Structure 1
Amino acid sequence: MRPLAYLFAILFAVTGFVSGPVAAQDTEDPSHATIENQGEESDVFVAPVDIEGETLFYVRGSTVLPASERADAVEERIYSLTELSESAPLRFEVRKMELGTGVYANGKMITVVTEADAEFEQFDVAVLAQLQSEAIEAAVRSYWEGRSEEARVESALGAVAWTVGFLIVTLLFFRRRHRLIATFERMTERRFTQVEEATKSVVQGKAVARLVGFGVNIVLWVLYLFAVYYYLSVVLLSFAETRPLAQILLDYVSEPLVSVILGFMGYIPSLFMLTIIALITRYAIGGVRIILDNVEAGIFEWKNFEPHWVNPTYNIARVVIIAIAIVFAYPYIPGSDSRAFQGLTILAGIIVSLGSNTVVSNMMAGLFVVYRRSTNIGDRIKVGDQVGDVVEIKLMETLVKSIKNEMISIPNAQLLNSEVVNYSRTIDGRGLMVNTTVGIGYEEPQEKIEAMLIEAATRTTYLKHSPKPFVLMTALADYAINYQINAFSTRGSSLPQIYSDLHRNIVTVFNENGVQIMTPSYIADPDEPKVPKEKWDGVLASTNE
């Protein structure tokens, strides 16, 4: 049946075996192979002779007579033959002429085969003229056959059959599409319900189901649009008058699609190589992960390798392995050898190099911060005016939780270039030295002041009794002597509370003994003590109660 023949014609057209449903010449036309091997000259001096979208042969032109004008003239003469009656005999002959060898039909010259044409097609002039004569005769007879009464009836019946089939598909599409989407959504949601029951975790099954439904809807619409496209192509191919339009549809959609498919098939060997590289990369990264996990668990022991280095070491090794894999995979990436791809790579490199100075410096600083052992997770540090506990050390930044429970992000470059005070790191076993200074008048005995400061330090929680606290006279100021109490503590993370308790105990001890603290400024003694001992004792008594 002719509609099936048209369908097979479409399949052959998109795969390159023929260019339409009715071949006007043998598929092994040497001109097709020759035109692909020509250089820039063929684009200017060669033009095809097309009849109803079918290329019969190519003609050679010159600067005086361009190839396109010569091809148009030949096409016009061939179409004039189609106006003859189908019952009229066609007599083709080949004659030698002054300019070459002419092809005549019923005594009328159709085209002239020149030496330039023969040289271009790499055929003898007489042989090429005979081939063109046969191609022209086949095209004319095909033109008549496609417009016969029998062909028109068969084309009309075929078009009606395809139309009925397309209407059925359209009806099913619009009536069953939502039901099919709902079926996929229910299947997906049911599957995620099983996952929830097995893993005892909450999975957003409805959201995933809607996403799957959206994807199914897109696929259905794409398939329907393809059906519309090929339905139009088949119907247009059914009639001789509309076959050129069908050929245009095939050229604009099918041929690019087939080119993509053929390109993908040609890319399969490179795809295998990329798959092998990806598998090797994956297993190499997995091997590094296993080794480092064993190191972290203590199964393997590396000298001077600290446990908190496991994750950053794994990240560095993973980046290095992936970079090496990209280098090996680059030649197998589609289009990697094209100038456009290379230009894009250069442009990306320039953009990264211009905009990543700070990023690279922070990354390098992050490596030094991790591996120089000056700061570990959990340490209480001071960077500039910021004091807090290290929560996480990343490649670009270090996260610190302040004593006010604020999360502070410190760039690693700043951490590397700044003075870092680590309150948690022990040096000689005695602990961190805590000190504070008070100013006391010259009239007070030094031994008394030192004893009171040591008593205040002794009362302070988290200050060690051994080594014993000691007092230094740091300055002889204008109105007072500056005494500095020093004590040791192993609780670096509790420094704010330690200082608060120490200051409270100093004030308490000095008030108990009626000694005036002259810090920060002092002008003259009052007539009476600012805090009489009786009043202070009363405060202490009420506090103790």
Structure 2
Amino acid sequence: MTQIIQALGILSRLMLAALWIALCAPSVLAQESPIEPQDSETTESEIFKAPVIVDGDTLFFLRGSSALPAPERAERVQNSIIEVAEASESPTVDIAFEETELGIRIRADGVIISIVTVADAELDQMELDVLSFLHGDAIEEAIITYRANRTEQARVSGAIEAVAWTFGFAVFIVAILWLHRRIRRRTLAFVQGYLEDVETATAKSVQAEAIAALVRYGLNFILLVIFFLGFYYYLSFVLLAFAETRYFAQLLLTYLTEPVLLIFKGIISYIPNLIMLALISWVTMYIIKGMRVFFDAVEAGTFDMGDFEKHWVNPTFNIARVVVILIALVFAVPYIPGSDSAAFQGLTILVGAMLSLGANSVVSNMLAGLFVIYRRSTSIGDRIQIGDHIGDVVQIKLMETHLKSIKNELISIPNAQLMNSDVVNFSKKTDGSGLLLHTTVGIGYEEPPEKIEAMLIEAANRTKGIKAKPEPFVLWTALADYAINYQINGYSTRGSIIPKIKSDLHRNIVAVFNENNVQIMTPSYMADPPEPKIPAEHWDGHLAHETHEDADKS
């Protein structure tokens, strides 16, 4: 009963919507184009006619007038046909025709059923006599069928048919429940069998149970849709087995069957476009596979592309793939359903506006990422400094660049910031000599400069990682108030361990100066203490002890 009430509610809403469109559409279309007489006549004929329906079967249409609207006239004819059909159980009907001033009157078993007028004949574009005969034949068949559907034999047959449909629906429910249980038992085993290697390769990051749950959800949803369709058609066929409910059954079948048939017809009519879309997809995939083979050959060194660096291979392939896909979309859009509609065009404009207004930073980072990838100042594995961050480049993405700091921290820097900042690259070789490392110490004026320079060069020569040639050299950077600032410079090609090299250099400077009893004045100096802060003999003993321990370890 609830289904029937819903069906009637939907029918009433459709009728109201049709009436609103019929009333409002002419005023809207009048602003765009002049109304043609043929269209107005068609609209008028659609409004002023109504069907005569008996037991869900449409017999014919009747025209209305201002005095007697079409729905009221059709209802009177329906009631007259039903009244005659219920008055007798005879398998035959006596149909008679009488000519009157208004038209041809049709009688059934002596009861006036309808009058076929000239307007009705004009509506159907037929002769009045022919149309009257057709109406009479339809009325006779409807009465005979109405009486036949209400005999005891027909009711027993309808009950048997309803029981048969009920039994079939019960079998259908059992099959659905069996499939539901089987899906629960077999899905996990099936998915595990196919994803065992994937779980091993991804260290169980891809869980077979999660995939199985998704598969079960999809299959159960399909079963739910099938169950709903089965119940819907079962209810419709049961109602169709009895004459009293056949009209509602036909309404239910119409509401579901017509949309499904329209969908299937649309799919069938859309097959040529689907073939074209499949062809475009196949050509696109073939081109992408060909590009993958080419770029793999470039990466392997089979093709020599001059200055094209290997770390450009994957980004270039990704960019080329996106370009090919965009070109394919341009060719495929005309074959997509609804692509020529105003709604689709408005949606594309809305999406474009949203992307242009809300993705400025994203686009800037993407463009900056392209420049970072293809400019030669930064490569994967380089030790670079960006602002306060120092680290090795481990990955250059389209949106950001990842650094691994010397403390093994992962630093993510947006590519726009990388483009707008000063980047110091410790790994790139400019003249072949390597990176010039330096540090500064302040030594008092009383010490001979030649001696200080020799000690600093000695400390640099003791430091592993600083090259012997070109030789280290010393610069005088400042004549301060209490000391001369000496800067020791040495070349190194090991940019990845600069902090370690500088630490060793500082250690060796302190060791050499203590060995020669020279006081380092940095950072500040007031006066010489009565005794050295670090006696030379203590330092020599400490060094000898460390050397002895190192020898024992070795």
Please classify the TM superposition score into its range, dividing by the shorter chain length: 0.7 to 0.9
* Equivalent in the alignment of 1:242: 245
Return the offset for 1:252.
2.5
Judge which range, 248-257 or 307-316, deviates more: 248-257
Q: Count residues with an aligned counterpart.
A: 508
* Equivalent in the alignment of 2:114: 110
TM-score normalised per structure 1: 0.84
| SS of residue paired to 1:392 | strand
- C-alpha contact (below 8 Å) 2:84/2:111 kept by paired residues: no
- C-alpha contact (below 8 Å) 2:64/2:71 kept by paired residues: yes
- C-alpha contact (below 8 Å) 2:77/2:113 kept by paired residues: no
Task: Identify if the C-alpha distance between structure 1 residues 57 and 311 changes in structure 2 by more than 3 Å, giving closer, same or farther.
Answer: same
Q: Which structure 2 residues correspond to residues 158-197 of structure 1 after superposition, within 5 A?
A: 158-171=161-174, 173-174=176-177, 176-177=178-179, 180-181=182-183, 184-185=186-187, 188=190, 191-192=193-194
Listed one character per residue, the Cα deviations across residues 280-326 of structure 1 (whole Å, up to 9, x for unaligned) are 00001011111111111111121221111110110001000100111
Listed one character per residue, the Cα deviations across residues 16-71 of structure 1 (whole Å, up to 9, x for unaligned) are xxxxxxxxxxxxxxxxxxxx999655664443333333333334446665544444
Quick one: percent identity of the two aligned structures? 56
Task: Identify if the C-alpha distance between structure 1 residues 187 and 132 changes in structure 2 by more than 3 Å, giving closer, same or farther.
Answer: farther
1:504 aligns with 2:513: no
Note the residue ranges of structure 1 that are not aligned, 5 or more in a row.
1-35
RMSD over aligned Cα atoms: 3.2
Task: Identify if the C-alpha distance between structure 1 residues 200 and 426 changes in structure 2 by more than 3 Å, giving closer, same or farther.
Answer: closer
| SS of residue paired to 2:529 | coil
1:318 aligns with 2:338: no
| SS of residue paired to 1:391 | strand
1:358 aligns with 2:358: no
- C-alpha contact (below 8 Å) 2:81/2:113 kept by paired residues: no
1:233 aligns with 2:247: no
* Equivalent in the alignment of 1:525: 528
Q: Which structure 2 residues correspond to residues 246-325 of structure 1 after superposition, within 5 A?
A: 246-325=249-328
Q: Which structure 2 residues correspond to residues 60-75 of structure 1 after superposition, within 5 A?
A: 60-61=63-64, 66-75=69-78
Counterpart Cα distance in 2 of 1:103 and 1:532: 137
Judge which range, 49-58 or 267-276, deviates more: 49-58
Counterpart Cα distance in 1 of 2:146 and 2:538: 125
Listed one character per residue, the Cα deviations across residues 61-106 of structure 1 (whole Å, up to 9, x for unaligned) are 46665544444344334333333313274324263544x6555543
Task: Identify if the C-alpha distance between structure 1 residues 133 and 516 changes in structure 2 by more than 3 Å, giving closer, same or farther.
Answer: farther
Return the offset for 1:540.
2.3
* Equivalent in the alignment of 1:400: 403
Of 422, 426, 430, the residue aligned with 1:423 is 426
Task: Identify if the C-alpha distance between structure 1 residues 297 and 168 changes in structure 2 by more than 3 Å, giving closer, same or farther.
Answer: closer
Counterpart Cα distance in 2 of 1:539 and 1:304: 54
- C-alpha contact (below 8 Å) 2:49/2:61 kept by paired residues: yes
Task: Identify if the C-alpha distance between structure 1 residues 356 and 190 changes in structure 2 by more than 3 Å, giving closer, same or farther.
Answer: closer
Return the offset for 1:433.
0.6
Counterpart Cα distance in 1 of 2:510 and 2:139: 118
* Equivalent in the alignment of 2:99: 95
Counterpart Cα distance in 1 of 2:495 and 2:195: 50
- C-alpha contact (below 8 Å) 2:443/2:484 kept by paired residues: yes
Counterpart Cα distance in 2 of 1:143 and 1:527: 132
- C-alpha contact (below 8 Å) 1:359/1:396 kept by paired residues: yes
* Equivalent in the alignment of 1:456: 459
| SS of residue paired to 1:517 | coil
Note the residue ranges of structure 2 that are not aligned, 5 or more in a row.
1-38, 549-554
- C-alpha contact (below 8 Å) 1:472/1:485 kept by paired residues: yes
1:80 aligns with 2:108: no
Return the offset for 1:249.
1.9
Return the offset for 1:427.
0.9
Return the offset for 1:223.
3.5
Counterpart Cα distance in 2 of 1:516 and 1:283: 75
Task: Identify if the C-alpha distance between structure 1 residues 380 and 216 changes in structure 2 by more than 3 Å, giving closer, same or farther.
Answer: same
Return the offset for 1:511.
1.9
Counterpart Cα distance in 2 of 1:260 and 1:41: 30
Judge which range, 479-488 or 39-48, deviates more: 39-48
Q: Whose relative contact order is higher, 1 or 2, with alpha carbons under 8 Å and at least 6 apart?
A: 1
Counterpart Cα distance in 2 of 1:304 and 1:193: 42
Q: Which structure 2 residues correspond to residues 39-50 of structure 1 after superposition, within 5 A?
A: 41=44, 44-50=47-53
Judge which range, 480-489 or 150-159, deviates more: 150-159
- C-alpha contact (below 8 Å) 1:362/1:397 kept by paired residues: yes
Counterpart Cα distance in 1 of 2:419 and 2:198: 47
- C-alpha contact (below 8 Å) 1:95/1:103 kept by paired residues: no
